[in-house]
A and B are shown apart, each in its own frame.
Chain A
Amino acid sequence: DIQMTQSPSSLSASVGDRVTITCRASQNIRSYLVWYQQRPGKAPNLLIYTASTLQSGVPSRFTGSGSGTDYTLTISSLQPEDFATYYCQQTYSSPWTFGQGTKVEIK
Chain B
Amino acid sequence: EVQLVQSGAEVKKPGESLRISCKTSGYSFTTYWIGWLRQMPGKGLEWLGIIYPGNSETRYSPSFRGQVTISADKSISTAYLQWSSLKASDTAMYYCARATGLCSDTSCYSRDGMDVWGQGTTVTVSS
Interface SS of chain B: strand
Asked if A71 is at the interface of the complex by the 8 Å CB criterion, the answer is no
Q: B59 touching A94 by the CB < 8 A rule?
A: yes
A30 and chain B: residue at smallest CB distance: B109
B101 and chain A: residue at smallest CB distance: A91
Residues A46 and B45 in contact in the complex (CB < 8 Å), given A91-B101, A95-B61: no
Chain A residues, CB < 8 A from B109: 32, 91-94
- What number of A residues sit within 8 Å (CB to CB) of B? 25
Residues A98 and B108 in contact in the complex (CB < 8 Å), given A45-B117, A91-B101: no
Q: B110 touching A91 by the CB < 8 A rule?
A: yes
Chain B residues, CB < 8 A from A50: 111-112
Q: A28 to nearest B CB, angstroms?
A: 13
Asked if B15 is at the interface of the complex by the 8 Å CB criterion, the answer is no
Q: A32 touching B115 by the CB < 8 A rule?
A: no
Within 8 A of B (CB), among A35-56: 36, 38, 43-46, 49-50, 55
Counting contact residues on chain B (CB < 8 A from A), the size range is 20 to 34
Residues A44 and B118 in contact in the complex (CB < 8 Å), given A91-B111, A94-B61: no
Q: A44 touching B111 by the CB < 8 A rule?
A: no
Q: A96 touching B110 by the CB < 8 A rule?
A: yes
Asked if B82 is at the interface of the complex by the 8 Å CB criterion, the answer is no
Asked if A1 is at the interface of the complex by the 8 Å CB criterion, the answer is yes
Asked if A83 is at the interface of the complex by the 8 Å CB criterion, the answer is no
Top 3 nearest A-B pairs (CB, nearest first) are A34-B113, A95-B61, A91-B110
24 A/B residue pairs, CB under 8 Å, sorted by A: A32-B109, A32-B110, A34-B113, A36-B45, A36-B114, A46-B114, A46-B115, A49-B111, A50-B112, A55-B115, A89-B45, A89-B47, A89-B113, A89-B114, A91-B113, A92-B109, A93-B107, A93-B108, A93-B109, A94-B59, A95-B60, A98-B44, A98-B45, A101-B44
Report B's interface with A, CB cutoff 8 A.
35, 44-47, 49-50, 59-63, 95, 97, 99, 101, 103, 107-115, 117-120
Report A's interface with B, CB cutoff 8 A.
1, 32, 34, 36, 38, 43-46, 49-50, 55, 87, 89, 91-101
